[in-house]
């Protein structure tokens, strides 16, 4: 009697396995999750003899990557229960042996049996359900294989599925053998993720003079919207740089220090939202860590041509070096050229720098995002930057979609998942590097946690108009309109409508605020004119914004100088006219006296 052992190997590190010429193997795997996240896994096997001289007396199932060992193992065939044995081998290998006590004997004979157990549950992180299934290797040695993933409707719509399933119906997703040979199944369900964050900054001015200073606040991007509860102390203004960073400005006194704390929430999307204004500045120039003009990298980029081909190349060419995950080693940024020369010792910055350099060398805009990345498995989804919570990933400009597309070649390499065609809810951008590969700096003190989705109160905009001291006719009156965003989020394409009563407006009556971050203000020049002969009736200047209208009453006192001037002019005209009339009458009398002097003498005699 000949004993044969079949091995199904599911793990992340490749391991060789031998298939038999004596059997064909068909396997269907069902992963079923209930509304609480509990999983039930069923493997259905069919072993068919190709030889009359051998049969299978046992089957071994080898799993790697499970957080916990399988529970409640039950195996059976058509004749009853089958004995199972579970052996755990460190660090995370689970070996399940099923004794086939009723083997099929004879060529063409088949044995059907199944194995059921409870595996790792789905995790409910904030607003999202996440599922990680083990990678299946050596599937090419199994003749027929398919996997079905079934989730309840309460999980929501799929936001991230890698690899893309071959078919789906309702909440059941099917994956074929070809899809799973080199890729695990990673899935996220839900519409958005909500994080609460606290970031802190420390500024100092060691000089003897007042000095301006800036910090980069976590900004809106096409994948996230940031909502601020407070920034203390508040900045004098918040502007947007060429990369789209939100730059808060402060003024430091001589020999002073300033600690700043920003508290808010970030709502993350898995697909880019083009509603938010985006900087499309072409970022193709070489930089310190992105030598796009290097001849060897430029030649490689020309052969690869597209961001997708470059992504695939970087994922395969570089190797993540977990031994470098120390504060000293992780703090050393090597740059693209060093990563290209030494691919075996790469961290997330190396994956990002090489991708950006090759994409720029191909004539396509690319930039870096540094931010927080949520991970529950530091080997599957490693982090490499400061304090072991920051991560680096690239973006490229999609000219077809007119938007920045985030990709993550680091996690694409470590997980085998497709982080090019889709993105997840685990990446919170803190700073954007496009113009420079090193600035602005991200905060070094950051705390992030899941938070419930809530809409904060929305105060009205602060709209103020700088009134002129006086209105004068014939002359244009130059004033300023200031809009301060005291709402918790940024404004985009926000309209302002100007209207006047009994005045003339030479400024366009419709203005648009393209982007205004929270705690920021913008100033518009306003030019008005008045009539040549203003009366004493009230005049109005009004500003209308969505859910906000401000009207200014321009009373007669703003024309007081003109009224006094006009009165003085009229009085002067009257006095001048009277004087001229008096002088004219005097001259007339003098002329008349000289004309009739004899007559007057005769009359006297």
Residue 277 lies in a domain: no
What is the CB neighbour count within 10 angstroms for residue 90? 5
Residues 429 and 305 in one domain: yes
Lowest mean pLDDT among 54-63, 329-338, 423-432: 54-63
Residue 456 lies in a domain: no
Q: In what order do the strands lie in the sheet with 237-240?
A: 211-217, 246-252, 237-240
Residue 472 lies in a domain: yes
- Domain end among 161, 188, 215: 188
How much is the pLDDT for 389? 61
Q: Could you tell me the pLDDT band of residue 316, with boundaries at 50, 70 and 90?
A: very high
How much is the pLDDT for 16? 27
Residues 74 and 44 in one domain: yes
Q: What are phi and psi of 62, to 5 degrees?
A: -115, 120
Q: Could you tell me the pLDDT band of residue 60, with boundaries at 50, 70 and 90?
A: confident
Residue 595 lies in a domain: no
Residue 605 lies in a domain: no
* pTM for this model (two decimals): 0.83
Residue 380 belongs to domain with CATH number: 3.10.620.30
For the stretch 350-367, what's the b/e string if a residue is b when 16 or more beta carbons lie within 10 angstroms of its beta carbon?
A: bbbbbbbbbbbbbebbbb
Residues 137 and 215 in one domain: no
DSSP state of 108: T
Look at residues 461, 515, 460 and name the one whose alpha carbon lies nearest to residue 493.
515
Residues 56 and 166 in one domain: yes
Residue 87 belongs to domain with CATH number: 2.60.40
Percent of the chain with pLDDT over 90: 58
| Helix (H) or strand (E) segment spanning residue 249 | strand 246-252
Residue 180 lies in a domain: yes
How much is the pLDDT for 595? 66
Mean pLDDT of the chain: 87
pLDDT at 91 over 80: no
Residues 412 and 498 in one domain: no
Residues 44 and 162 in one domain: yes
Residues 149 and 262 in one domain: no
Q: What is the pLDDT of residues 371-389, one digit of tens each?
A: 998 887 666 566 655 444 6
Which structural domain range is residue 198 located in?
193-268
pLDDT at 77 over 90: yes
pLDDT at 517 over 70: yes
Q: What is the pLDDT of residues 378-422, one digit of tens each?
A: 665 666 554 446 899 999 999 898 889 999 999 999 988 899 998
Lowest mean pLDDT among 99-103, 256-260, 564-568, 592-596: 592-596
- Domain end among 444, 471, 492: 444
CB 404 within 8 A of CB 366: no
Residues 352 and 468 in one domain: no
Highest mean pLDDT among 106-120, 387-401, 466-480: 106-120
How much is the pLDDT for 7? 38
CB 49 within 8 A of CB 72: no
Residues 427 and 346 in one domain: yes
CA atoms within 13 A on the CB side of 513: 28
pLDDT at 275 over 90: no
Residues 84 and 178 in one domain: yes
Cα(first)–Cα(last) distance of the chain, in Å? 179
- Tokens (6 digits) for 226: 């940031």
Residues 336 and 406 in one domain: yes
How much is the pLDDT for 13? 32
The partner residues of 98 in beta bridges, in order of sequence, read 59, 84
- Domain end among 148, 164, 188: 188
pLDDT at 14 over 70: no
pLDDT at 589 over 60: yes
CB 485 within 8 A of CB 518: yes
Number of domains in the chain: 4
How much is the pLDDT for 4? 35
Q: Which residue has the higher pLDDT, 13 or 319?
A: 319
Q: Could you tell me the pLDDT band of residue 53, with boundaries at 50, 70 and 90?
A: confident
Q: What is the pLDDT of residues 156-191, one digit of tens each?
A: 999 999 999 999 999 999 999 999 887 889 999 998
Residue 283 lies in a domain: no
Check the CA dihedral 285-291-293-299 and report its sign: negative
Across 237-261, average pLDDT? 95
Q: In what order do the strands lie in the sheet with 427-433?
A: 403-406, 390-398, 366-373, 427-433
Residue 517 belongs to domain with CATH number: 2.60.40.10
Q: What is the pLDDT of residues 299-313, one digit of tens each?
A: 999 999 999 999 999
pLDDT at 207 over 90: yes
For the stretch 508-544, what's the b/e string if a residue is b when 16 or more beta carbons lie within 10 angstroms of its beta carbon?
A: eeebebebbbbbbbbebebebbbeeebeeeebebebe
Residues 418 and 324 in one domain: yes
């Amino acid at each position: 009697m000949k004993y044969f052992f079949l091995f199904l190997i599911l793990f992340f590190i490749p391991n060789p396995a031998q298939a038999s010429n004596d059997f064909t193997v068909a396997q269907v795997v069902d992963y079923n999750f209930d509304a609480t996240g509990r999983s039930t896994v069923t493997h259905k096997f069919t072993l068919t003899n190709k030889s009359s001289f051998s049969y299978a007396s046992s089957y071994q199932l080898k799993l790697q990557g499970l957080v916990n060992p399988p529970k409640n193992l039950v195996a059976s065939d058509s004749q009853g229960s089958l004995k199972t044995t579970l052996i755990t081998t460190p660090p995370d290998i689970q070996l399940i042996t099923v004794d086939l006590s009723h083997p099929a004997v004879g060529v063409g004979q088949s044995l059907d049996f199944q194995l059921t157990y409870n595996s790792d549950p789905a995790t409910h992180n904030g607003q999202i359900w996440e599922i990680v299934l083990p990678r299946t290797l050596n599937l090419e040695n199994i003749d027929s294989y398919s996997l079905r993933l079934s989730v309840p409707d309460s999980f929501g719509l799929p936001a991230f599925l890698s690899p893309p399933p071959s078919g789906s119906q309702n909440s059941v997703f099917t994956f074929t053998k070809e899809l799973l040979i080199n890729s695990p199944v990673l899935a996220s369900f839900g519409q958005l993720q909500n994080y609460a964050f606290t970031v802190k900054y420390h500024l100092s001015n060691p000089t003897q003079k007042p000095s301006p200073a800036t910090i980069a606040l976590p900004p809106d991007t096409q994948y996230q919207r940031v909502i601020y509860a407070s920034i203390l102390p508040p900045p004098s203004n918040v502007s947007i740089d060429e990369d789209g960073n939100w730059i808060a400005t402060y003024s430091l006194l001589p020999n002073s220090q300033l600690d700043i704390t920003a508290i808010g929430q970030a709502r993350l999307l898995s697909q880019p939202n083009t509603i938010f204004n985006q900087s499309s500045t072409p970022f193709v120039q070489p930089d310190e860590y992105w030598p796009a003009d290097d001849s060897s990298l430029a030649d490689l980029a020309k052969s690869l041509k597209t961001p997708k081909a470059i992504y695939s190349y970087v994922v395969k060419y570089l190797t993540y070096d977990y031994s470098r995950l120390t504060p000293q080693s992780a703090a050393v940024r090597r740059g693209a050229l060093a990563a290209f020369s030494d691919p075996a010792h790469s961290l997330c910055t190396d994956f990002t720098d090489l991708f950006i350099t090759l994409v720029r060398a191909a004539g396509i805009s690319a930039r870096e995002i540094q931010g927080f990345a949520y991970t529950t498995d530091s080997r599957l989804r490693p982090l490499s930057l400061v304090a072991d919570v920051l991560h680096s990933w690239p973006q490229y400009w999609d000219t077809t979609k007119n938007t920045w597309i985030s990709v993550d070649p680091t996690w694409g390499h470590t997980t085998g998942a497709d982080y090019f065609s889709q993105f997840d809810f685990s990446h919170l951008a803190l700073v954007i590097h496009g113009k420079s590969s090193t600035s602005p700096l991200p905060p070094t003190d950051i705390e992030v946690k899941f938070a419930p989705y809530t809409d904060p109160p929305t105060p009205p905009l602060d709209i103020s108009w700088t009134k002129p001291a006086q209105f004068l006719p014939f002359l244009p009156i130059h004033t300023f309109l200031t809009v301060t965003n005291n709402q918790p989020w940024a404004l985009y394409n926000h309209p302002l409508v100007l209207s006047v009563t009994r005045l003339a407006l030479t400024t366009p009556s419709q203005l648009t605020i393209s982007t205004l971050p929270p705690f920021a203000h913008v100033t518009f020049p306003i030019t008005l004119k008045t009539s040549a002969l203003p009366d004493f009736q009230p005049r109005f200047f009004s500003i209308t914004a969505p859910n906000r209208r401000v009207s200014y009453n321009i009373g007669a006192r703003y024309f007081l100088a003109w009224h006094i001037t006009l009165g003085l002019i009229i009085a002067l005209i009257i006095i001048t006219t009277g004087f001229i009339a008096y002088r004219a009458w005097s001259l007339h009398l003098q002329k008349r006296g000289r004309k009739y002097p004899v007559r007057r003498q005769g009359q006297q005699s």
